[in-house]
Structure formats: structure tokens, C-alpha cells
Amino acid sequence: MARGRVILQEERFKFTLERLCQQLIENYSYFENTCIIGIQDRGVLLGERIVDCLSANLKKTKIEFGKLDITFYRDDFRTRETPLKASSTEIDFLVENKRVILVDDVLYTGRTVQAAMSALLAFGRPATVELLTMVDRRFNRHLPILSDYTGITIDALDEAYVRVELEQVEGKDRILIFSAKR
């Protein structure tokens, strides 16, 4: 892949993450009857960062966090040329009647979120489901899905590729956009 253009540097990334956490605190106070679930893989990494940030701000609050794999709930599961690699689902609590905050790195077509909501029902029927994404590519939606908490909104063509790089994997936090043309 060609070298991308940085659209959000490390310092602004951290400010954006903190802003998202403050919005969650404003809406959920002490997270009673609320859980955060990251969508494998990048949503889990971002979700862990969100939980760490929330825990630092809410010292005595335990926030339930889970990891959700959506591989077998995807609508393109059987049509891919190469098999998808499943990740683990780690949710050791029921979501029945809980307020659920799903976390993913990029909201693009909406199909990942649709699959996540279908997979989530295996753990109970939530009272509400909200979505937190670091990037919302708002003009590329295939399904009527919106992010409730958005880091940044990017108006990118379908041919563009947006990547959220995270400190845990790439060594620094930033958001890049790549042209699909080579």
C-alpha cells in the first residue's frame, strides 16, 4: 500500500480520545448497568484505551468490558476469496437489559456494526446500544447506522482507505488516509 497522508497526529489523537471519554462520563456518570464492548480486533484495542481513560477519571468505578468477534455474523462471510480468521469473543457477563456501548475504529459501510449487533444478541437483549467510533466515513454508508460518539468525521471517496494506528500495535497513535490507486 502506498504511503498515507496523516490526518490526525498523536497529540490530537489523545485529545480526541479524552473528549470521547468525557462525553461518555457526561452521559453515563458511574456506568451503572452499562458495559463497553470492543469489536475485534481494532475496536477492542480502542475499547481498552477508552476503559483505561475512564478508569483514570472514575477511580472507584469498575467498568465491564468485553471483546466481540463478528466473523461468522458478517454478510460476506461465505463470499470471500480467502477465509476470514476468527478472533475470540470474551464477554463474561450478560448484556440483558444493560446499556451497551459498542466500540470500533472506523465506521465505513455499517456492515461491521450490523454484524456486531446480531452477534451481541447471543449474550442477551440489551436495553440500549450506542456506537463509539474514532472515525466516521459518513458518505460511504450502505446501511442506516450512525455513530453516537465520533472522534473525527472524514469525507473520503470509496476508493480511499482510512487506517487508525494505535500505540499498542504501531507504536504511535494517528489516523492515516491512503489512496487505493497505486
User: pLDDT for 3-50, tens place per residue?
Assistant: 679 999 999 999 999 999 999 999 999 899 999 999 998 999 999 999
Q: Does domain 5-77+85-179 have CATH number 3.40.50.2020?
A: yes
User: pLDDT for 117-126, tens place per residue?
Assistant: 999 999 999 9
Cβ 121 vs Cβ 142: under 8 Å: no
Cβ 175 vs Cβ 165: under 8 Å: yes
